């Protein structure tokens, strides 16, 4: 059953969105990205802009795993009936 009004994304679009999200989270926590990772973010600038507003503001002291886990688990949970 399809959700009304929810656009269906291709596997490639989902991959790009998730990769952008992870790279932005890492950069937000102070990690240095590789030149290839920075180039990926530049290539997908429109996705970057939409994801920036959705990043949780976790201080680095709470741990990188906490921030990434909290952010990605909300996106991967199945809808409950």
Check residue 29 and report its DSSP letter: T
Provide the number of structural domains found in the chain: 1
Whether the per-residue pLDDT at 17 is higher than 70: the answer is yes
Confidence (pTM): 0.55
Number of residues in the chain: 81
Maximum mean pLDDT: which of 19-23, 50-54, 66-70: 19-23
Give me the domain span that covers residue 15.
9-51
Within a domain: residue 4? no
Query: Using H for helix, E for strand and C for coil, what is the string for 49-77?
Result: HHHHCCCCCCCHHHCHHHHHHHHHHHHHC
Whether the per-residue pLDDT at 25 is higher than 80: the answer is yes
pLDDT digits (tens, 9 = 90+) for 53-80: 666 665 554 455 555 455 444 444 444 4
* Residue 18, CA atoms < 13 Å, CB-side half-sphere: 13
Within a domain: residue 80? no
Within a domain: residue 79? no
């Amino acid at each position: 059953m399809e959700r009304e009004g929810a656009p269906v994304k291709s596997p490639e679009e989902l991959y790009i969105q998730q990769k952008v999200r992870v790279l932005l989270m890492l950069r937000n926590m102070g990690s240095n990205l590789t030149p290839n990772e920075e180039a990926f973010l530049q290539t997908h600038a429109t996705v970057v802009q939409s994801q920036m507003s959705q990043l949780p503001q976790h201080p680095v002291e709470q741990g990188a795993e906490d921030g990434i886990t909290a952010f990605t688990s909300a996106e991967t949970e199945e809808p409950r009936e």
